[in-house]
Amino acid sequence: MTDLESRVLGLSCWTDPQDIQPLTGGITNLNATVTDGGRKYVVRLGQDIPEHGILRWNEIAVARAAAAAGVSPAVVHAEPGAVVFDFVEGEALTEEALHDPATLMAATDLVARVHREVTPRLRGPVLTFWVFHVCRDYAAFLDERGSGYGPMLGKLLDDAAALEEGVGKVRLVLGHNDLLPANFIKSDKGLWLVDWEYGGFNSELFDLGGLASNAGLPEAAEQDMLARYYGHTPDMSFRKSYAAMKCGSLLRETMWSMVSEITSEIDFDYAAYTAENLSRYDAALAAWKDMP
C-alpha cells in the first residue's frame, strides 16, 4: 500500500472506499480520486503552508462559498490535512484551450460569477490576498534562507513598489487568486473552478491578469477578455492599471516558485518553472513601462 493510499483510507468519512487513484498535476498538494458508496470523490491532502499564506481553514471556507454559488464542486468532508470534494467528470484546461475564443469567454464569465456570486456567500473570517505584500514576504523569506536568487531581490522589490503605485485604488471582491489553466475543469455542464487555497479578498484585476498571463494570451484575446468582463472596452488609463497588476501576478508566480524550490517536497521542476515565469514577467514589465 502506498503512502497516498494509506492516508486516503485513514480518513473518517468512508464506509467502503475503493479504487484509489492518484491525480497528477498538483504542484502544492497530493490529490487522488476514490469511490465510496457508489459515488466518486476527489481527496486533497495538504497541511498549512505558512510561507505561501496557505491556511486550510480559509481554503475550506472559500471552497464552501464557491460550491454554494455553483461554480465549484461541493465540499463533502474536511479534517486536518485533508479535504474531500464531489468528483466532476471533465478535463482540465490548457493554455491552448484558453486561446479558443469561446472557451476564453466562458472562463471570463466564470471568473465574473466568482466575483459577483461567491463574495456574498462567504461566512466567517477570510484572508486578504494582496500580491505586493505577498511578494515582499517572499523576498524576506528568500533572503533569510540564503536563496541563490538573493542578488535580484532588491530589483524585484523596487519593481513591486512601482507596480503597486501603478495599480492605484482598487475595489475588493473574493478572488480565486490562482487562475492556472488547469484549475478550470471543462465538463458537459460547463466550466468549474477548483483549488481555492489562495482564495481571499483582492482586486478583480489580479484574477484577470492571472488568467491572461498564465494562459499566455495574445494582446487581442486579452482585450476581448477585458471587454467581456466589464461590458465595454476599458480606456488606456484603466488598461495601464490592469497591466501593472498583471505584472504583479507574474512576479508573484515567479517568487512563489523561487520559494518552492527551497521548501517543496513534491516532484516538480520548480527551477524551470521559475525561469519560465521570470521570462514572462520581464516581458510584461517591459510592455507596461512602454505604455503611454
Model pLDDT for residues 105-132, shown as the tens digit of each residue: 999 999 999 999 999 999 999 999 999 9
Q: How many alpha carbons lie under 13 Å from residue 237 in its C-beta half-sphere?
A: 2
**What pLDDT does residue 189 have?**
87
Distance CA 72, CA 192 (A): 5
Do residue 246 and residue 101 come from a single domain? yes
Do residue 33 and residue 79 come from a single domain? yes
- Of 69, 86, 103, the last residue of a domain is 86
Rg, Å, the chain Cα set: 19
Distance CA 81, CA 98 (A): 32
- Of 86, 107, 125, the last residue of a domain is 86
Do residue 123 and residue 76 come from a single domain? no
Do residue 113 and residue 80 come from a single domain? no
Do residue 207 and residue 235 come from a single domain? yes
Q: How confident is the model at residue 266 (pLDDT cuts 50, 70, 90)?
A: confident
Residues 73-111 have pLDDT tens digits of: 999 999 999 999 999 999 999 999 999 999 999 999 999
- For the beta carbon of residue 126, count every other beta carbon within 10 angstroms: 17
Read off the CATH number of the domain in which 205 is found.
3.90.1200.10
Per the structure, the complete domain to which residue 78 belongs is given by 3-86
**What pLDDT does residue 193 have?**
98
Identity of residue 153: L
User: What average pLDDT is seen over the chain?
Assistant: 96
Residues 6+ apart with CB under 8 A from 15: 36, 37
Identity of residue 261: E
Task: Confirm if 274 and 147 have CB atoms less than 8 A apart.
Answer: no
Helix (H, G, I), strand (E, B) or coil at 193: strand
Do residue 36 and residue 125 come from a single domain? no
Do residue 202 and residue 272 come from a single domain? yes
Do residue 274 and residue 248 come from a single domain? yes
Residues 203-217 have pLDDT tens digits of: 999 999 999 999 999
- What is the grid cell recorded at 88? 466532476
Closest listed residue to residue 288, CA positions, set 219, 233, 229: 219
**What pLDDT does residue 26 have?**
67
Residue 50: pLDDT over 70: yes
H-type helices in the chain, by residue range? 3-9, 56-68, 95-98, 101-113, 131-144, 150-167, 204-214, 219-230, 236-263, 270-290
Task: Confirm if 246 and 216 have CB atoms less than 8 A apart.
Answer: no
**What pLDDT does residue 274 have?**
98
Do residue 58 and residue 149 come from a single domain? no
Do residue 154 and residue 33 come from a single domain? no
Domains in the chain, number:
2
Residues 154-183 have pLDDT tens digits of: 999 999 999 999 999 999 999 999 999 999
Residues 6+ apart with CB under 8 A from 182: 25, 92, 93, 94
**pTM value > 0.85:** yes
Read off the CATH number of the domain in which 46 is found.
3.30.200.20
DSSP assignment of 9-78 equals HT-TT-SS-EEEEEE---SSSEEEEEEETTEEEEEEE---BGGGTB-HHHHHHHHHHHHHTTSSPPEEEE
- Of 55, 86, 117, the last residue of a domain is 86
Residue indicated by cell numbers 487568486 = 177
Do residue 227 and residue 96 come from a single domain? yes
Do residue 24 and residue 137 come from a single domain? no
Helix (H, G, I), strand (E, B) or coil at 114: helix
Angle at 75 between CA 71 and CA 80, to 5 degrees: 135
